[in-house]
Amino acid sequence: MVIDSHQHFWNYEPVKHSWIGDDMSGIRRDFDPQDIKKELDANGVHGCVAVQADQTLAETDFLIRLSEENDFIKGIVGWVDLRNQKVNGDLERYSAYKKVKGFRHVVQGEPDPNFLLRPDFRNGITALEKYNFTYDILVFPHQLGATLEFVKQFPNQKFVIDHLAKPYIKDGFFDGWATLMTEIAEHENVSCKISGMITEADYHNWTSDQLHPYMDMVLNTFGTNRILYGSDWPVCLVAGNYKQVKDIVTNFIATLSQDEQEDIMGKNAIQFYNL
């Protein structure tokens, strides 16, 4: 079974989705399950994990509703305020919904590079384990030092790094990102999504060859059992299309064994998110 471990839905609102800048104006519109279902069917993908794009409880409720109406949405990664002293109440409430698998905070947008290490946020992460929730780590490379210290503190929590931690592919920066990702990969409770690469490269002039060193590094450090395929649709549409994104990954792993390819393209997501 092929599972897209990372995509989004939204009803576009200029203020709520202000992160969609002018250079991404092509995705300033609504994206609903009917849109992605066409792409999944055309590309042999059997299901997906919907990930939050707004930091409100209403966003989590929105994704729950979509997942209840569309069986191909196998799981959702929502949002709760993990800094809230009463976060346990939210987690208990969402634990009643089978398709709620985990949570994410847009740490990449936080001005504090050590946001993950704040005591109130760490208290929220501690609460996740009780409910067997996962946590998606969304950071930029300059936040990887804090990310390393963060994952060290929670050896029993299931983490996945979104979008390879957004390496600066367009600028050709590699070594600092690779050094820290290698250290993070030593922690067996951390996985990594091969996703979001073409939007970290030049939107209009990227090539698969530019992406290979980054995928190589992740493959060699995390291994085939801790890598998850993700499209980052519809964000990926600012730099390409769904087929291109999937082909980048399938072509890259084509020399691996059939079992290893199946792990990366779906089985790892099923296991990580308990789909």
The answer on pLDDT for 23 being more than 90 is no
Compute, in degrees rounded to 10, the torsion defined by CA atoms 219, 225, 227, 228.
150
Q: What is the DSSP letter of 53?
A: -
pLDDT digits (tens, 9 = 90+) for 126-177: 999 999 999 999 999 999 999 999 999 999 999 999 999 999 999 999 999 9
Q: What are the residues whose beta carbons fall under 8 Å from the beta carbon of 97, sequence distance 6 or more?
A: 64
- Give tens-digit pLDDT for 190-209: 999 999 999 999 999 999 99
What letter does residue 3 receive in the DSSP assignment? E
Strands laid side by side in the 227-229 sheet: 3-7, 47-51, 73-78, 100-105, 134-137, 159-161, 190-194, 227-229
**What are the tens digits of pLDDT across the range 58-115?**
999 999 999 999 999 999 999 999 999 999 999 999 999 999 999 999 999 999 999 9
Is this structure's pTM higher than 0.85? Answer: yes
Closest CA to 110 of 78, 77, 82: 82
Most distant CA atoms of the chain, gap in Å? 49
List, in sequence order, the alpha helices (H) in 76-118: 87-94
Q: Is the pLDDT of residue 20 over 90?
A: no
CATH number at residue 208: 3.20.20.140
How many other CB atoms are there within 10 angstroms of residue 202's CB atom? 14
Residue-level pLDDT at 19: 83
Distance CA 261, CA 86 (A): 42
User: Could you read off the pLDDT of 195-244 as tens digits, one per residue?
Assistant: 999 999 999 999 999 999 999 999 999 999 999 999 999 999 999 999 99
Nearest-angstrom CA–CA distance, 235 and 228: 18
Which of 22, 79, 25 is closest to 51 using CA atoms? 79
For residue 15, what pLDDT band results from cuts at 50, 70 and 90?
Answer: confident
Split at pLDDT 50, 70, 90, the class of 50 is very high
Contact (CB, 8 A) for 81 and 60: no
Structure tokens at 158: 């299931």
**Predicted confidence (pLDDT) at residue 250 exceeds the cutoff of 90:** yes
pLDDT at residue 25 in the model: 84
Residue 14 reports pLDDT greater than 90: no
Q: Three-state SS for 214?
A: helix
136, β-bridge pairs: 104, 160
261 pLDDT band, cuts 50/70/90, is very high
How many folded domains does the chain comprise? Answer: 1
Residue 21 pLDDT class (50, 70, 90 cuts): confident
Cis-peptide, bond into residue 111, ω within 30° of zero:
no
Residue 16 — very low, low, confident or very high, per pLDDT cuts 50/70/90? Answer: confident
Distances (CA, A) of 242 to 35, 116, 135, 202, 230: 11, 32, 25, 17, 10
Q: Give the residue with greater pLDDT, 52 vs 30.
A: 52
> For residue 131, what are the domain limits?
3-273
